A and B are shown apart, each in its own frame.
Chain A
Amino acid sequence: MLIYFLNSIIFVLGLYCLIAKKHLVKKIIGMVIMEYAINLFIILIGYKDNGIPPIYLPNMELTTFTQQSVDPLPQVLVLTSIVIGMSILALMVAISLRLYEKYKTFDMSEIRRLHG
């Protein structure tokens, strides 16, 4: 249970960094931390103590295999989610660089020509 609690702390730290910090790069870091907290959570769903890789070899017994092997699906999902996170990260970095060219600052509190 403790590990889930620690994981949720990482998530909240990322969210705090994203919302409270003014610097664009810190916001991006916060976003990445948040995404990684979710990825870690998905991995934890499939985790088992003393688990074995989910590969069925000929000399294994079926019952011990089903009891001991970890769930492979969350690991596959995390791979996809990491790729998506990377593409968002690339877009965020590209846009923040362009923002720096236009406004000459990374401070979000000075980048406010719009007022939504």
Chain B
Amino acid sequence: MQNWLPLFVMVPLGVAFINLILTKFFKNISAYLTLIAVLFLCGLSFRFIGHEPFHYAIGGWMPPVGITLVWDPLSQLLILIVSIITLAVTLFAIPYMQQYTAQNKFYSLYLLMIAGMNGVILTGDFFNLFVFLEIASIASYALVAFGVEAEELEASFKYLVLGGVSSTIILLGIALLYSATGTLNMADMAIHLDEGASKNLLFFIFALFLMGFGLKSAMVPFHAWLPDAHPSAPAPISAMLSGLIIKALGIYCVARIFFIVLGIVPVIQTILMALGGLSMVIGVFLAVGQWDFKRLLAYHSISQMGYVMVGIGLATPLGILGALFHLLNHAVFKSLLFLCSGAFEYTTGTRQLKQLGGLLKKMPWTGTSCSVAALSISGVPPFNGFWSKLIIILALLEAQYYFLAVITVVVSFMTLISFIKVQKYSLFGTLPKRLESIREVPVLMVSGMLILTFLCIGIGLFYPFFGQQLLESARDLLINAGQYTLYAIP
């Protein structure tokens, strides 16, 4: 079983290139090839649930010399999120992408993005992390510009410049860490840093990583690219970017590196919480005034990532649990909302809320999914968003950050207002004359959305059945970071 671990990276990476060769001979095969690869990854990740933590030495080169892949509770949670969301998004993408040309290139870039994300999540080696980060980022830069319209190219260039700066800064941080410890293996590095390292250097590295991964996860001073880049991409890619990329490349790396490798210190916790609080407030204020559906969702991504950052920065057991739970929930409902916005755009041809209305009668499945997701993100019980927000607020109260707890409640309320507006203008109200002939979207698109809708309802209600296995084990790893060195290195 352990020997199957590299397949998480190898299968999407291999299929991405095989796909380009095969489509020379067989037209229209690429969508189904991608679906098979994604189904395989989904099955593989379910087979791996509950597996003991272990490391896999690539090519038989033992760590700390060789590169390792590490399976542990934190990667288990992220891999599972990535597999399930990609399955739903792929089902949605098959009919949706029919309106574009060069579909085989789309699916190849899409698979490269999945390979990069899986690599970032599983790797136990710093430079390997950088390489996979770049694979995922470059694929996403190209996918944002996939429509090659003027706005899309502009958004992609902006994303490319800021993403390039963040990658360069992350590389500088990795180089400094290497010069300080003489190793690139994460577990070995954690042991070396434990024995003692220059404090000034460590703070400089913290600052570099905070800026680098802050840019990747769009924390507030670094958020300028996100509201342009996420709405410009085709809808399935928006769902991937907002649901997965900012988590796998941003928050996950912050959690993994700050907690497990470098070891968290109170100053950094305060900075993380301050950035998270700022993101929550500014993101939601910018979102309330938007009339472009996808742009509104993109601003809400900034705000909801703020919740996760606050929970991570709190670093109490309850805070981290809330943050990880909100990470899972946000991946589900934000992908669903972006897919719904894509479905509206597919049938009506617009994403301006003022030109929509009364869609619930014409598109019952999409409309219901959209309402469920909107209720989840605004934290209405019993949907999943409510429980994770509740845990974060309770953790803030427990740690006596009353002011931040009040802000969290207010932001949640503002989110509700903004999504009531979305519902009123898109689902209810009167149907405009020109939209009278529209019909429900194809069945594959509906099935992709329904998977996520059931997850929105199910995750909140059935927490006792999976919480211990998935979330609490990952939390225990982040609290007792010393565990990592026990299994990640022989």
Interface stretch among A49-57, A58-66, A86-94?
A86-94
Q: Would you give the 0/1 interface string for A10-21, flagging 1 where the beta carbon is closer than 8 Å to chain B?
A: 010001001000
Would you call B206 an interface residue if the criterion is a C-beta within 8 Å of the partner chain's C-beta atoms?
no
Contact partners of A84 in chain B: CB under 8 A: 131, 134, 138, 167
Please tell me if A77 contacts chain B, counting CB pairs below 8 Å.
Answer: yes
Most A CB within 10 A of own CB, among B142, B154, B165, B172:
B154
Let me know if A116 and B145 touch, CB within 8 A: no
Determine if B224 and A102 form an interchain contact, defined as CB atoms under 8 angstroms apart: no
Q: How far is the CB of B131 from chain A (nearest CB, A)?
A: 6
- Which residue on chain A has the smallest CB distance to residue B299? A116
Contact between chains at A99 and B157 (CB < 8 Å): yes
Find out whether the CB atom of B164 lies under 8 angstroms from the CB atom of A88. Answer: yes
Q: B244 in the interface, Cβ–Cβ < 8 Å? A: no
With A34-B168, A114-B228, A116-B224 as contacts: A41 and B175 at CB distance below 8 Å: yes
> Is A18 a contact of B153 with CB atoms below 8 Å?
no
Q: Is A111 an interface residue (CB 8 A)?
A: yes
Return B115 CB to nearest CB of chain A, in Å.
15
Kindly supply a per-residue 1/0 record for chain A positions 83-116, scoring 1 wherever the CB is within 8 Å of any chain B CB and 0 otherwise: 0100110011001101100110000000111101
Closest to B298 in A: A116
Contact (A80, B154) CB under 8 Å given A95-B160, A116-B227: no
A13 to nearest B CB, angstroms?
13
How near does chain B come to A112, taking the closest CB pair, in angstroms?
Answer: 7
Q: Please classify the interface of chain A as helix (H, G, I), strand (E, B), loop, or mixed, using the class held by over half of its residues.
A: helix
Residues from chain B with a CB closer than 8 A to the CB of A70 are none
- What's the tally of chain B residues with a CB closer than 8 Å to chain A? 36
| Interface contact A91-B226, CB-CB below 8 Å | no
Count the A-B residue pairs with Cβ separation under 8 angstroms: how many? Answer: 91
B161:A95 contact, CB within 8 angstroms: no
Residues of chain A lying within 8 A (CB to CB) of residue B175: 38, 41-42, 45, 74, 77
Q: Verify if B141 is at the interface (C-beta below 8 Å from A).
A: yes
A95 close to B228 (CB less than 8 A): no
Asked whether any CB of chain A lies closer than 8 Å to the CB of B480, the reply is no
Interface of B is mostly: helix
Residue of B at shortest CB range from A87?
Answer: B138
> CA A102 – CA B145 in complex, angstroms?
13
Partner of B168, one of A35, A96, A99, A114: A35
Encoded as 1 (CB less than 8 Å from any A CB) or 0, chain B from 348 to 368 comes to: 000000000000000000000
Cα–Cα, bound, A52→B157 (Å)? 43
What is the minimal beta-carbon distance from A75 to any residue of chain B, in angstroms?
12
Given the complex of chains A and B, what is the CA–CA distance between A13 and B275 in angstroms?
Answer: 28
Whether the pair B157, A96 counts as a contact (CB closer than 8 A) is yes
CA of A91 to CA of B131, assembled, Å: 17
Contact B142 A91 (CB under 8 A): yes
Chain B 318-341 residues near chain A, CB threshold 8 A: none
Quick one: which of B134, B161, B179 contacts A27, CB cutoff 8 A? B161
The minimal Cβ–Cβ distance linking B27 to chain A, given in whole angstroms, is 25
The answer to whether A18 touches B165 (Cβ under 8 A) is yes
| Bound Cα distance A42, B177 (Å) | 11
Chain B residues lying within 8 Å of A69, measured Cβ to Cβ, are: none
Could you tell me the distance between the alpha carbons of A40 and B127 in the complex, rounded to whole angstroms? 16
Query: Within 8 Å CB of B179, what residues of A?
Result: 45
Of the candidates A81, A96, A116, which one forms a contact with B228 in the assembled complex, judged by CB atoms under 8 Å apart? A116
Cα A96 to Cα B184 in complex, Å, equals: 35
Closest B residue to A89 by CB, please name it: B164
- Do A95 and B164 form a contact, CB below 8 Å, given A38-B171, A112-B154, A116-B158? no
Question: What is the distance, in angstroms, from B172's C-beta to the closest C-beta of chain A?
Answer: 5
Cβ of A80: which chain B residues have Cβ within 8 Å of it? 127, 131
Q: How long is the Cα–Cα vector from A27 to B162 in the complex, in angstroms?
A: 11
- Asked whether, in the complex, the Cβ of B178 is within 8 Å of the Cβ of A31, the reply is no
Of residues 132 through 174 on chain B, the ones whose CB sits less than 8 Å from some CB of chain A are 134, 138, 141-142, 145, 148-151, 153-158, 160-161, 164-165, 167-168, 171-172
Closest CB pairs A-B (n = 8) = A116-B228, A102-B150, A116-B227, A45-B179, A114-B228, A42-B175, A84-B134, A99-B153
Contact sample, A vs B, 10 pairs, CB 8 Å cutoff: A27-B161, A31-B165, A42-B171, A42-B175, A74-B178, A84-B138, A88-B167, A102-B149, A113-B150, A114-B155
Given contacts A95-B156, A114-B228, 11 further A-B contacts (CB under 8 A): A18-B161, A24-B157, A38-B172, A77-B127, A80-B127, A87-B134, A92-B161, A95-B141, A95-B160, A98-B145, A102-B150
Question: B residues within 8 Å of A by Cβ?
Answer: 127, 130-131, 134, 138, 141-142, 145, 148-151, 153-158, 160-161, 164-165, 167-168, 171-172, 175, 178-179, 184, 224-228, 232
